[in-house]
Each structure stands twice: as structure tokens, then as C-alpha cells.
Amino acid sequence: MTQPNHKDRAHALLSPSAADRWVACPPSARLSEQYPNESSPAAEDGTKAHELCEILLRRETYDSKDYTPEMIECAEAYAYYVTQELGLDTYHVEQRINIPGIPECFGTVDCYGVKGVTLYVIDYKYGQGVAVPAEHNKQMALYAYGLLKSAKLSTIADVQMTIFQPRTDELKTWTVDAVELQRWVEETIIPYGKMAYDGEGEQHIGDHCRWCPARVDCRAHLDLFPTLYETMQAEQATEAEKLSVLDRADEVIAYLTDLKQWATNQLLGGQPVSGWKLVEGRSVRTIPDYAALATRVASTGISEETLYERKPLGLTNLKKVIGAKLMTTLEEDGLIIKPEGKPTLVREEDPRKPLAIKEELLSHF
């Protein structure tokens, strides 16, 4: 058995997983080329979680010590979904797919299979911070397009694409006619892919900037500042002026956070940043080894028991101990509840329902 190795795979200039970004901002593809691929603990967890999924779907063995209980539980749920719920007898895992019509566009599909006249494409997402939608998901659409264009799949009538994201407790699918899907990809993705390959098009700021390696040096972000400044004409801002600044608030805050992180990284790496330096931040006293401390205190005659308190587990740790199934039962029985969230300001086009403002809330303002 060869252990899967996802982290050393070749990276495409136009990877389907970044299609949201290079479609919205085609120049970002060439700009990003100049930056190294940076990893993070969350990305490394994701890679490991995908490797385990591959092992399970290939029905190979693994050492449970190499994975967290949550990784194992999620991967088992994924394998169950593919083999039992979808009932795919034959499927392919971790296959490289070349996307015709766009140079240097390829990626690795987590799983696909065919049953009758339907092509199934499944994308596993281990992250839990951002729930990924299935509808019009460009990454899966490109994989499906690449597969449909390969001679072997000419009899397919429709495509079912699933985002399996177990840590968001939501399964999302998008089913679409195969001809319609190909037309959609050809009209809304491929022209931007070609533009991105040629380094053409306009920079455009949006949610897709979150993962852009070129963000700190991005001209479109820097241009936000004179634009905002120019909106202020008189000493007192009008409502329209305040709204025009509010309109860019998320982008400005995100950019400034990145910029500060960039300056910190430069200085940590020994590079000067004119006008800035690093100092030691505020620090609080801490106990590096509480067990050693407790033993020492107990030796003075104080009972060791008085040094510990019993505390309930947080939801994440509770789920690790009791498993997702019992968590769901406890929720159904009202032993785990989800209180109302704090009022949150979002843009009008956000898909969530607007908050019904209650009388008691109004009295606060």
C-alpha cells in the first residue's frame, strides 16, 4: 500500500479550487505566481483529512494514531455517503482532471463515479469556518466539465455535484443537465480563464480576495484609500458619504489587517520596515506545567484536590468524546440549544433572512 501524499502535488497556474478568484479577478492568477505556496495548520489538517478519505475509499488500512478522532469520524461519514448513500459501486478517487479550453488549468477531484446516466462529483471539505455552496460551484463544475469532455463519458445526461462538509453539518448538492452545465462553464468560466492565463482583465475586490497571495501588494486595494478620502468634501460627512465609506469597510479592514501582518513578518524575518519596529507585547503570568506545580504545592500539606476544578467540556471537545450522532440526539432533546445570534450588519444581497426587530431591542437605541 502506498501512503497518499497530497501536499507534494503539482500546483496549476489556474487551479479549479481558485476559480472563484480568477474568474472575478483574472489578473490575480499571474500576480499570485510570484508568491510561494504558504501552508497553515488548518491547511495541513485539511490535507491529512483528505488523505484519510482516500485511504477509506480505497478500502486500505491506516493507523488511527495518525489522525484525530474527529478526522476519522468525518472520513468514515464521507466514505459511507459515497458507497452507501449514493450507492456508487464504481468510483474514482483523487484523479487529476485537465480542463480543456483553459491553458494550465488542472486539479484533483476528490471522488467521481457514474450510475446510470448520471455523473456524480463529490468534493470533500474539512474546513468549518466557511460553508461552501454546491450551487454554481465553479470548482466542481470545472471537474465535471473536464470529465464530460473526455471521450469516456459521452453518454451522461445529468450531473450531481456534492459538497460534503461534515463539520458544518450540511450536505449540499447541485444537480444539473449535462449540456446546460457545459454551456454554463463555456460562457461564465472559460473566457475568464483565458484572460487570467494571459494576465489580462481588471482587478476586482470581493470575498474572493480572502485567499489571494497577492493581496498585500494589490493595486486595487491600495486605490481604495485615495478613493475613500476623495469622497469626503466638507467638514461634516453626509449620509451618502458615510455609506460610500461603509460600502468598502470590510475590504479596508481586511486589507489593513493583512498589511500589519506583512510588516510584522518582514521584521520577524530581519527585513527593515521604515518607521516601524517590533516590541514585546503585553504578557501575563502562566504555569507551564500545572501537574508539577500541583505536586509541589501538595508537598506543603495542601490537598491536591483543592487545586483542580471540574469544568464542563466545550462543544468541540464534547463532540470529540461522544460523537456526532449523540450530539444530534441531544440537540433534538433540547439539551443542546442554539441561542439567537447578535444582530450582525451584512450587505443586502446576503442570502440570510433579515432580522425581525423586536420592541425590546428597539428600546435600546
Closest CA to 112 of 137, 140, 139, 84: 140
Q: Give the residues across from 119 on adjacent strands.
A: 114, 159
Asked if 221 and 215 touch (Cβ cutoff 8 Å), the reply is yes
Q: How far is the CB of 257 from ligand SF4 (least distance, A)?
A: 13
- 194 vs 204, beta carbon nearer ligand SF4: 204
Closest CA to 215 of 230, 204, 202, 225: 204
- 108 vs 203, beta carbon nearer ligand SF4: 203
Among 21, 50, 125, 319, binds ligand SF4 (CB under 6 A): 21
Q: How far is the CB of 139 from ligand SF4 (least distance, A)?
A: 16
What does the DSSP 8-state code read for residue 248? T
Q: Does 137 bind ligand SF4 (CB under 6 A)?
A: no
- 34 vs 61, beta carbon nearer ligand SF4: 34
CB proximity list for 162: less than 8 A, separation 6 or greater: 81, 86, 120, 121, 122, 123, 134, 171, 172, 173
Among 31, 88, 147, 190, binds ligand SF4 (CB under 6 A): 31
- 33 vs 180, beta carbon nearer ligand SF4: 33
- 140 vs 218, beta carbon nearer ligand SF4: 218
- 161 vs 189, beta carbon nearer ligand SF4: 189
φ, ψ for residue 336 (rounded to 5)? -125, 125
* Number of other residues whose CB lies within 10 A of the CB of residue 231: 17
Chain centroid, CA 34 distance in Å: 22
By CB under 6 A, how many residues form the interface with ligand SF4? 15
What does the per-residue mask of binding to ligand SF4 show for 201-240, with x meaning CB under 6 A?
A: --xxx--xx--x-xx--x-xx-------------------
What does the per-residue mask of binding to ligand SF4 show for 176-205, with x meaning CB under 6 A?
A: ---------------------------xxx
Task: Tell me the DSSP string of 250-313.
Answer: HHHHHHHHHHHHHHHHHHHTT---TT------------S-HHHHHHHHHTTT--GGGG----PP
- 22 vs 112, beta carbon nearer ligand SF4: 22
Give the footprint of ligand SF4 on this chain (CB under 6 A).
21, 25, 28, 31, 203-205, 208-209, 212, 214-215, 218, 220-221
